[in-house]
Amino acid sequence: MIVLNGGSSSGKSGIARCLQAVLPDPWLVLGVDMLIQALPASSPTSATGIEFAPDGEIVVGPEFRALEAAWIAGIATMARAGARIILDEAFLGGATSQQRWQHALGELQVLWAGVRCDSAVAAGREIARGDRVVGMAASQAELVHRGVAYDVEVDTTHTEALDCARVIAAHVR
Amino acid sequence: MIVLNGGSSSGKSGIARCLQAVLPDPWLVLGVDMLIQALPASSPTSATGIEFAPDGEIVVGPEFRALEAAWIAGIATMARAGARIILDEAFLGGATSQQRWQHALGELQVLWAGVRCDSAVAAGREIARGDRVVGMAASQAELVHRGVAYDVEVDTTHTEALDCARVIAAHVR
Amino acid sequence: MIVLNGGSSSGKSGIARCLQAVLPDPWLVLGVDMLIQALPASSPTSATGIEFAPDGEIVVGPEFRALEAAWIAGIATMARAGARIILDEAFLGGATSQQRWQHALGELQVLWAGVRCDSAVAAGREIARGDRVVGMAASQAELVHRGVAYDVEVDTTHTEALDCARVIAAHVR
Amino acid sequence: MIVLNGGSSSGKSGIARCLQAVLPDPWLVLGVDMLIQALPASSPTSATGIEFAPDGEIVVGPEFRALEAAWIAGIATMARAGARIILDEAFLGGATSQQRWQHALGELQVLWAGVRCDSAVAAGREIARGDRVVGMAASQAELVHRGVAYDVEVDTTHTEALDCARVIAAHVR
């Protein structure tokens, strides 16, 4: 299992797709975006306890936390059942988020990969992507790495996604 | 857990979203579309053993079958961990597909819901949706229900998705 | 040229795609959704004068009106240059919106088609589609038809998009 | 009017969105992707004369050429009517494509901007984007610039979209 952790617009998803292209076996890309997509569409706030503030901050309530815990347990089961999984994540809680995953993944072999990007560059790429909610790139750039331990780190500020993927792939056994 | 089984363009996804709206608790919608989205983008055929024939038929190989088994096991774990899940599925293998899920879900309480739609009507809705691959609606309309046992059945031919969702929701305990 | 006018979730876009499928020549589908997509992504309100209120109402300012006038003139030119165009519109201003198009289209041969849908049914389909902004279907259902004159009218409440398209196509010369 | 010309995955669309963000007035982004989206979905080949070969090459027939001519004339009308337009284009015919636009735009003030990107880098970004059709980036990288004259040129190989947009914006009067 490969866990990619980085802020919004840091380039994680692009690296994930490049990893799928350069690794010899088929890998699944899963991540928190998929969980959010699975949530009820109308009034995500009240019903599920996740809120996207206008400034790009994300506020998560206990209801979302419970669903997320079940989601994490399920992905750990998929990995134990033999699926090769690339996880596309943003550890909004830093070290606490990593511990949540470490606890669920237990004995599984995991490659922890940090995806960094200069805050101003990520903010510019957020504009280029045309996201309606602006500000997440800047607010998450440092936050998601606080206290997180990695096996490999890449930085997309001056390095292409495909080259970052090759660096990470070299660590996959 | 609610399992919605129906052919392409039968209206399952619309019913799933309506169920999220009418049920009092937050429910996650998961399904095979999400699994396909998680697969490698380039050459899905060779790498992962799933092929979309030009006539709308889907050919599934052993490689995809293994990933799917891990996916099913993981979703069962999510349900056991307390997540309320609506499964949006098309049982291309009919009764065999259902058995695969029954085996994984074991003792979990499951509401099996069949979503039917007249084949010609589903084919028309496929055109209205503008899908680039045409023919899946017609080829799957009967196929996915062969030998499958249900707790409740709805038919979208003459009934709106929201009304179908209310019928199904009345069976949720 | 064919102008489809109907409220949000009335089924216009599905009918437009079915018209492309049943008409012998290639037709382009253009519409106000494309114009909105072409606008700046961030702060659409302040910069361009269009606002989507939480209850589904749309408030349009003078800045948007100027861009829309240019857009309408351009589409009239495309039709005059020989392109077959299906227009997918919601006349939020009723008869006033139609006059705006009539003025621009001038001598061009136009088939005005009204697409109606029962307000409650359209609201249900809005939920089934999973749109994040809910309420547009109900607020537009009657509004867009006020004072508008048609060559043909269809109602998607009990009729499939493909059948509605065939009714409209029969009026195309 | 600003015309951005560059190959697939060269970063034109990102620059276009950044231009919308940095320019003081509201600008519309239009382009060939919108025209292709407006075409009939099923059998685009036979009906409309545009074909996407598996190797990423695009073959365009006379039917598509006629629709494109009407499209170009219409966009010229929009610009004449006062709309500020950023055109997101790939001149597959090089100088011939530019002449087609020059002829239609006539006396209008146009800023011709070339968007270059190293062929290998663009091919890598195509993989990172997860496009199902691979090969367009490499085949178009040089092709689209053949014989085309520019007022300003940018290169996204080592420069961010937002910085490229600022260079182009400085030439807008």
Span C96-105, pLDDT tens digits: 999 999 999 9
Mean pLDDT of B150-171: 98
Question: How confident is residue D46, by pLDDT bands cut at 50, 70 and 90?
Answer: very low
Phi first, then psi, for residue A40 (nearest 5°) are -55, 140
Q: Is the pLDDT of residue A70 over 70?
A: yes
Element at C124 (helix H, strand E): helix C119-129
The mean-pLDDT minimum among A72-81, D52-61, D62-71 falls in D52-61
Which residue of B12, B20, B162 to mutate against C (max C Cβ within 10 Å)?
A: B162
Q: In 3-state terms, chain B is what percent helix, strand and coil (to 5)?
A: 45, 15, 35
Altogether, the residues listed in chain A come to a count of 173
B·D CB contacts under 8 A: 12
Query: Percentage of chain A with pLDDT > 90?
Result: 81
A41 contacts in chain B (CB < 8 Å): 17, 20
- Give the pLDDT score at B6: 97
Which residue of B42, B55, B127, B131 to mutate against D (max D Cβ within 10 Å)?
A: B42
Question: How confident is residue D45, by pLDDT bands cut at 50, 70 and 90?
Answer: very low
The pLDDT tens digits of the residues spanning A22-56 come to: 999 999 999 999 999 999 985 444 455 666 666 66
- Give the pLDDT score at D63: 84
Return mean pLDDT, chain D.
Answer: 91
Q: Which chains touch C (3 or more CB pairs under 8 A)?
A: A, B, D
Altogether, the residues listed in chain B come to a count of 173
Buried b (16+ CB within 10 A) or exposed e, D98-114: bebbeebbeeeebbbbb
Q: Which two structure tokens, joined as six digits, stand for D133?
A: 């059709």
Low-confidence ranges of chain C (pLDDT < 50): 43-46
- Give the pLDDT score at A44: 46
Chain B contact for C142 (CB, 8 A cutoff): no
Chain B contact for A45 (CB, 8 A cutoff): no
Alpha-carbon gap: A112 to the closest alpha carbon of chain B (Å): 20
Chain B contact for C30 (CB, 8 A cutoff): no
The answer to whether the Cβ–Cβ distance between C38 and D21 falls below 8 Å is no
Q: Is the pLDDT of residue D39 over 70?
A: yes
Which residue of C42, C55, C125, C136 to mutate against A (max A Cβ within 10 Å)?
A: C42
β strands within D2-151, DSSP E = 2-5, 28-31, 50-52, 58-60, 85-89, 111-116
Q: Is the pLDDT of residue B122 over 90?
A: yes
- Give the pLDDT score at C55: 66
Beta strand pairing call for A58-60 and A50-52: antiparallel
Mean pLDDT of B144-161: 98
Mean pLDDT of D42-60: 61
Alpha-carbon gap: A18 to the closest alpha carbon of chain B (Å): 9
B24 contacts: CB under 8 Å, gap ≥ 6: none
- Give the pLDDT score at C173: 83
Q: Is the pLDDT of residue A74 over 90?
A: yes
Q: Closest chain C residue to D30 measured between Cα atoms?
A: C38
Altogether, the residues listed in chain C come to a count of 173
Mean pLDDT of A1-14: 97
B121 contacts in chain C (CB < 8 Å): 160
State the Cα–Cα distance between residues A129 and D14, nearest whole angstrom.
6
Which residue of A36, A42, A125, A136 to mutate against C (max C Cβ within 10 Å)?
A: A42
D79 contacts in chain C (CB < 8 Å): 70
Question: How confident is residue B53, by pLDDT bands cut at 50, 70 and 90?
Answer: low
Chain A contact for D120 (CB, 8 A cutoff): no
A·B CB contacts under 8 A: 93
- Give the pLDDT score at B131: 78
**Residue A123 CB-density burial (10 A; 0-12 exposed, 13-18 middle, 19+ buried):** buried
The answer to whether the Cβ–Cβ distance between D127 and A163 falls below 8 Å is no
Chain A contact for B22 (CB, 8 A cutoff): no
Chain C contact for B84 (CB, 8 A cutoff): no
A14 contacts in chain D (CB < 8 Å): 125, 128-129
Active site residues of C: 33
Chain B contact for D127 (CB, 8 A cutoff): yes
Phi first, then psi, for residue B100 (nearest 5°) are -55, -45
- Tell me which residue in D124, D158, D162 faces A161 most closely, judged by beta carbons: D124
Return mean pLDDT, chain A.
Answer: 91
| Centroid of chain to Cα A67 | 17
Better pLDDT: B59 or B163: B163
- Give the pLDDT score at C94: 96
Q: Closest chain D residue to C48 measured between Cα atoms?
A: D26
State the Cα–Cα distance between residues A13 and A88, nearest whole angstrom.
6
- Give the pLDDT score at C46: 47
Chain D contact for B127 (CB, 8 A cutoff): yes
**Residue C107 CB-density burial (10 A; 0-12 exposed, 13-18 middle, 19+ buried):** exposed
State the Cα–Cα distance between residues B84 and B67, nearest whole angstrom.
23
The pLDDT tens digits of the residues spanning A112-157 come to: 999 999 999 999 999 999 876 788 999 999 999 999 999 999 999 9
Q: Closest chain A residue to B22 measured between Cα atoms?
A: A40
- Tell me which residue in A21, A127, A162 faces D17 most closely, judged by beta carbons: A127
Q: Is the pLDDT of residue D163 over 80?
A: yes
Better pLDDT: B49 or C106: C106
Are the C-beta atoms of residues B167 and B152 closer than 8 Å to each other?
yes
Better pLDDT: D132 or B46: D132
D127 contacts in chain B (CB < 8 Å): 42
State the Cα–Cα distance between residues C73 and B99, nearest whole angstrom.
59
Q: Is the pLDDT of residue B42 over 60?
A: no
Q: Closest chain C residue to A40 measured between Cα atoms?
A: C130
One-character DSSP codes across A30-95: EEHHHHHHHS-SS-HHHHHSEEE-TTS-EEE-HHHHHHHHHHHHHHHHHHHTT--EEEEE--TTTH
Altogether, the residues listed in chain D come to a count of 173
Q: Which chains touch A (3 or more CB pairs under 8 A)?
A: B, C, D
C66 contacts in chain D (CB < 8 Å): 82-83
- Tell me which residue in C42, C131, C134 faces A134 most closely, judged by beta carbons: C42
Q: Is the pLDDT of residue B44 over 60?
A: no
Amino acid in the structure at residue C172: V
- Give the pLDDT score at D56: 66
Q: Which two structure tokens, joined as six digits, stand for A35?
A: 């969980």
The pLDDT tens digits of the residues spanning D61-111 come to: 788 889 999 999 999 999 999 999 999 999 999 999 999 999 999 999 999
A·C CB contacts under 8 A: 12
Active site residues of A: 33
The pLDDT tens digits of the residues spanning A84-118 come to: 999 999 999 999 999 999 999 999 999 999 999 99
